[in-house]
Structure 1
């Protein structure tokens, strides 16, 4: 038995009541609308050859409009509705929260059984004033904890968190309140440093807000970039780098003796025998008060005979041995 036959059978069963509900005349819904906005309940009907005898809309069993040869409009709807008499579609304007609920459409065609449909309307206050609130505190990696709260006005259906453009997930350090309103980070890690976004939304509106979270960490991953071997007489530049927030302060030692402070770059204008040895860079974070060091052993390279340089080097090393 196809759908048409099923609808016909349903209509026959309801013939005594004078109503046929087998044919869907309204979408499944629900319809969504914004406060002060407009919604249109569009039916699935096309204009008939003969005008409908009656078209009636009701809300919670109270009349909105009943249209026959004249229109009977319910209290409070006179300036808020427009009825398409040919299809039964209804436009409702200046929505308020109290408009949320179930709407019923009843149509009596000329010479046919009565048709009825129902649909639900949900009215939402648009999202506004979104912001992320976090305690004002200096955060230090592995020592501090914090939280971020996503606050907004309006009807909030969902809150979605992302960090640096990627979804934020729960972990051994990160957890969420039941409604995703607050993110808890206990304790903070260098990976928690960055920009957090909260998207607060409902079916009729959305708003995204950002917050930069500063986690002081490091120095980590300290290294020296530059050659480990260079030709005698050449200019050599060593660069010390480290992952650190705030940026680290750098100091240098050559063969155990301090040579430079507060500079990440060490420049040897001309490589001599006295310049060969161990260069130590120390990075220190003045907030976390942590420091880390690394060593580069710089040696001479000779692609052609450089006996004079080697002689000077041997002499320098010999002199050090007697000191």
Structure 2
């Protein structure tokens, strides 16, 4: 008796509930028909075909046997059809041959969703978790953040089945899109959940020239990383201004416009604020020396020289 690998391809086979699977053999039709072909499931006969067919009643409408090669088609798959199948073939001449394989039947994955507790999340202060649910036969769950595989770390951990990801505490890097991919060998589904983490303001900066020629129009732009977007206020040489936008514009640079411009970014949810300073000075070529002299005179009068 020869078992397995030369009669049936390597398994296991995978099938979808209510679908169809074919147990193919590696045999070609012989010149003389096989004397007998029989299939069994977990040791219980499905069909035995000699000059007549003996079929288990529960399979009579669900199977088709290819008598020439021994292949078996099984339709209307049930989850209970998962298990070991055995084929035994007796040729017209030669030794009996037998093969075994395993079928795994899976329910299609449907209805995937991600849920998380309600509430406002603030960086370094709030804890949260995301739970991934789905219907069907679930073989694996994978979590992704902005399309990249999510790995466990100092702030991220998973339940044993990866059904839930715990974030403790949240960080600005957790702001964005989380995906849960639920799969089995015959189906998969990916669902997305957007997590809002309030953070900042971080990385406050002012873009604009640090030096400009007399009479030039100068625009300073304040930026900050913040969720929700930061609000801005400006100070000039330590004094409050009436500018409360991200842009500070000097229409025409004068002596009185030179000095320190401070931008403060504020987040009304995190209740945090951060500031940065840009020192604006005059830049001159040969024609503007008179302006430089005027500047020196003005600074002297202020007692700064």
Distance change (3 Å), C-alpha of 1:21 and 1:165: closer
Pairwise CA distance, 1:319: 4.1
- Corresponding residue for residue 273 of structure 2: 291
- Corresponding residue for residue 159 of structure 2: 177
Alpha-carbon distance in structure 2 between the residues aligned to 1:20 and 1:267: 89
Q: What is the 5 A alignment of 1:130-141?
A: 130-141=112-123
1:195 aligns with 2:139: no
Residues 118-173 of structure 1: per-residue CA shift (max 9 Å, x gap): 11111111111111111111000110010011111111110011111211111111
Q: 2:134 aligns with which of 111, 131, 152?
A: 152
Pairwise CA distance, 1:262: 3.0
1:74 aligns with 2:59: no
Given the two structures, how large is their TM-score scaled by the length of structure 2?
A: 0.96
Gaps of 5+ in 1: 1-18
Q: 2:101 aligns with which of 101, 105, 119?
A: 119
Pairwise CA distance, 1:83: 1.1
Alpha-carbon distance in structure 1 between the residues aligned to 2:209 and 2:142: 48
Q: Secondary structure at the match of 1:57?
A: strand
Given the two structures, how large is their TM-score scaled by the length of structure 1?
A: 0.91
Kept after mapping to 1: 8 A contact 2:4/2:100:
no
Alpha-carbon distance in structure 2 between the residues aligned to 1:62 and 1:243: 67
Kept after mapping to 1: 8 A contact 2:264/2:275:
yes
Pairwise CA distance, 1:78: 1.7
Pairwise CA distance, 1:238: 0.3
Q: What is the 5 A alignment of 1:1-323?
A: 19-21=1-3, 24-321=6-303
Residues 240-259 of structure 1: per-residue CA shift (max 9 Å, x gap): 00111111000001111111
The aligned length equals 304
Kept after mapping to 2: 8 A contact 1:235/1:270:
yes
Alpha-carbon distance in structure 1 between the residues aligned to 2:92 and 2:78: 35
Pairwise CA distance, 1:81: 1.1
Pairwise CA distance, 1:285: 0.4
**Aligned-residue CA RMSD in angstroms?**
1.5
Alpha-carbon distance in structure 1 between the residues aligned to 2:16 and 2:84: 16
Q: Which moved more, 1:282-291 or 1:20-29?
A: 20-29
